[in-house]
A and B are shown apart, each in its own frame.
Chain A
Amino acid sequence: MFRIVRVETLAPGIRRLQIEAPRIARKQKPGQFVIVRVYEEGERIPLTIEKSDPQRGTIDIVVQSVGKTTHLLNRLETGDAILDVVGPLGQPSEIEKFGTVVTIGGGVGTAMAYPTAAALKQAGNFVICIVGARDRERVILEREMRSVSDELMITTDDGSYGSKGLVTERLQEIIERGTHIDRVLAVGPILMMKAVADLTRARGIPTIVSLNPIMLDGTGMCGGCRVLVDGKSQFACVDGPEFDAHGVDFDTLLRRNAMYREAEKKSMDQCYQEMESHGR
């Protein structure tokens, strides 16, 4: 059992859970993630590690309510426990002094982008961060991102905060104003990452994306998280989750991530019904 020691709401439907996981806290590096199973009948799902505290033995995960498991996770409180947490999984982000790096976080992807941005900053890069969200309420980790950025741009779909528009529009601006970009890291919805890849491909800017396919064991044992990169099958759990954006087949990833849509809906509906019948 992994005890939750702190809970914080970052935005509607997005929370940060601090969990006692001393082994993971000691080993976690930016770019890595965990897999959790909340209760005995639960599924295994991958979640972002935002940061860890090796001394206290805790990790902070950021959870957006999307399906049944994330909804239930976001109903847990301090003192509750998660049945299984395993990690840190995946290859850590490549951290070196590249020069000028643009780090893009879309929605909850910001939580995955943040630790890498911080490490890139520490490695001596000039770090420009773009944080995108649907609206003002859903902008997360602004303070954290600001603290590791030489320049921070916030953009919302409805223009309620920062500038109005997509993260790719901000990236385009940076390119057009003549800033030389050595590397881009984009983490967020698949369509966002695809749009970033399309934009930078034409300009030959090395671009990394962190992929979020459906996962099961997370140890390279099942191959369920396979993604096509440069026409070759790669396992996101052990070979990734970060890949060269220009080689990723995003359409296949989108399609594979929709594989269980009906089942997910059924699970969610049932979950809502149970919540209602419990009068919550």
Chain B
Amino acid sequence: MADRAECPPASLPLRERMKIPRQHMPEQPAIERAANFSEVNLGYSEELALQEALRCLDCRKPLCMQNCPVGVKVQEFVDLIVAGDFLGAAAKIREDNVLPAITGRVCPQEDHCEGSCVLAKKGESLGIGYLERFVADYEQRMGVFHVPAVPPTGKKVAVVGSGPSGLTVAGDLVQRGHQVRVLEALHELGGVLAYGIPEFRLPRNIIKQQIDYLRATGIEFETNVIVGKTVTIDELMQEEGYDAVFIGTGAGAPLFMNIPGEQLNGVYSANEFLTRINLMKAYKFPEYDQPIVDIRGKDVAVIGGGNTALDAIRTALRLGARKAYVLYRRSEAEMPARAEEIRHARQEGIDFRLLTNPTEFLSNGEGWLSGVRCVRMQLGEPDASGRRRPVPINGSEFDLPLSVAVISVGTSANPVIQSTTPGLATDKRGYIQADPITQRTSCKGVFAGGDIVTGSATVILAMGAGRRAAKSIHEYLTTGEW
């Protein structure tokens, strides 16, 4: 490696390795980043990556890999970093994960690889996500494309949706020689990566590069196709000659709270708010045509405690909100958002109002939002989710003045495909039923995975489903057995 940095010898004794502290991820200062859309995390330098990689203890039974939904060979790629072979490390990750620059940024590693890292027992886990991001970005900078030459099988697969699960299925199947076409409903590729996750967590050029990489491997992409409307699953298989179809359309439909005032101007779903900003670039209005309500100097709240909620409120802050609140009905311990995102949000000045539940949106008398009525909550007995159930405290109602409210309380199944595909079994909530191992649906040749099967989850879990589906589709296409 010509430009390889000087690094401590890989043979550094274990005792020495254990003395190295977890390398801090350089970040854009909170005060600066709260006013721009540039990425918060700046990425490891080669030196930091080498230092961090040396912390890996090379466990005999590495739980990190076992607990990775796509089975990234963590130890092997980290060893390649230690050896200074960054491109080799990237190629090693790509064997199991076709979107390393994306998962290196948005995967909740603390729930998977890092959460099971032996180092976490006595201190801080290995920074596996940071290292993954480092090698993926290095690979992009070098502009190296490994396009594996595989003999074509002559089989055609349609992938519905270009989000994390769809891209994974496509990436895995093309590597097995199948012809793959990805159909996307929106005008841009990436699904939730493109419309949902903001630029400051996942820059658009990173998504584009990762998709360009997949395109270079031979995957075809077609935008503006809403399967179920523009073409049905049956038509894809019977008229367009696809041998198998994978449905990875995401959870899609936003849930509202069904409280008074939700129709007021200034009340958004998180999906709409984020789509206007991320997909349509409303923050660049009037250079871009799609508008969003002017937030400068206004008070904004998001309702909900997940990553999407934090993405929305941190976006509002960057649009110039005066006050930016998170209203969440449970306590911080129950918040589904990643710890890192909560920390970043606090640093940026987001005001967390926990154990607070909105009961009504208030009007200014002219149809615009002027505030939200809330009730304070306390935690009672654990509910079905295992989290302590929030219970309203009588007489604790109060009003919070607001100009914009963003509802981020979850999603439900978008019914477009289910309602146009005869025989496709769904559960009582409308999600597509698929076998948890093979991802097969009730229709022959049709597979499904990701949020449209499980309900809203994470990028990496959708990718895990995509991996299993690709394996299973490959088996079906080669054996013909259903």
Contacts and interface: CB of A to CB of B under 8 A. Distances in A.
Contact of B187 (A23, A84, A263): A84
A221 B252 contact: yes
B220 interface: no
B265 A256 contact: yes
Given A238-B416, A256-B265, A233 B256 contact: yes
Interface residues of B, number: 40
Q: Is the interface of B mostly helix, strand, loop or mixed?
A: loop
A67 to B, nearest CB: 9
A85 B229 CA distance: 13
Interface stretch (A136-144, A197-205, A223-231): A223-231
B293 interface: yes
B263 interface: yes
Contact of B254 (A37, A222, A266, A270): A222
B356 interface: no
A279 to B, nearest CB: 21
Given A37-B187, A84-B223, A216-B275, A255 B291 contact: no
Contact of A88 (B229, B272, B275): B229
Contacts of A84: 187, 223-224
Nearest to A259: B265
A75 to B, nearest CB: 15
Interface in B278-324: 280-281, 285-291, 293-294
B280 A44 contact: yes
Residue from A44, A217, A221, A252 having most chain B Cβ neighbours under 10 A: A221
A43 B253 CA distance: 21
Given A68-B289, A260-B291, A221 B226 contact: no
B416 A86 contact: no
Given A84-B224, A220-B414, A222-B271, A43 B263 contact: no
Contact of A23 (B186, B231, B254, B414): B231
Contacts of A88: 229-230
B269 interface: yes
A163 interface: no
B80 interface: no
Nearest to B192: A221
A167 interface: no
Interface string B203-241: 000000000000000000001111001110000000000
A23 to B, nearest CB: 5
Interface residues of A, number: 44
A222 B230 contact: no
Contacts of A252: 263, 367
Given A85-B224, A86-B185, A219-B226, A41 B289 contact: yes
Interface string B98-112: 000000000000000
A209 interface: no
Contacts of A223: 253-254, 256, 269, 271-272
B185 A41 contact: no
Interface in A52-75: 68-69
A88 B231 CA distance: 10
Contacts of A108: none
B276 interface: yes
A160 to B, nearest CB: 35
B137 interface: no
A223 B258 CA distance: 13
Interface string A241-280: 0000000010010011011101110110010000000000
B293 A216 contact: no
Given A85-B224, A86-B224, A223-B256, 18 more contacts: A23-B225, A41-B287, A89-B226, A89-B229, A216-B272, A216-B280, A217-B195, A218-B226, A219-B186, A219-B416, A220-B416, A221-B414, A222-B271, A228-B263, A238-B414, A258-B265, A262-B294, A267-B286
Interface of A: 23-24, 27, 37, 41-44, 68-69, 83-89, 216-224, 226, 228, 233, 235, 238, 249, 252, 255-256, 258-260, 262-264, 266-267, 270
Interface of B: 185-187, 195, 223-226, 229-231, 252-254, 256, 258, 262-263, 265, 268-269, 271-272, 275-276, 280-281, 285-291, 293-294, 367, 414-416
6 contacts: A220-B415, A221-B254, A221-B275, A222-B272, A233-B258, A238-B414
The 7 closest A-B pairs by CB, nearest first: A263-B291, A222-B272, A43-B289, A255-B367, A43-B290, A84-B187, A86-B224
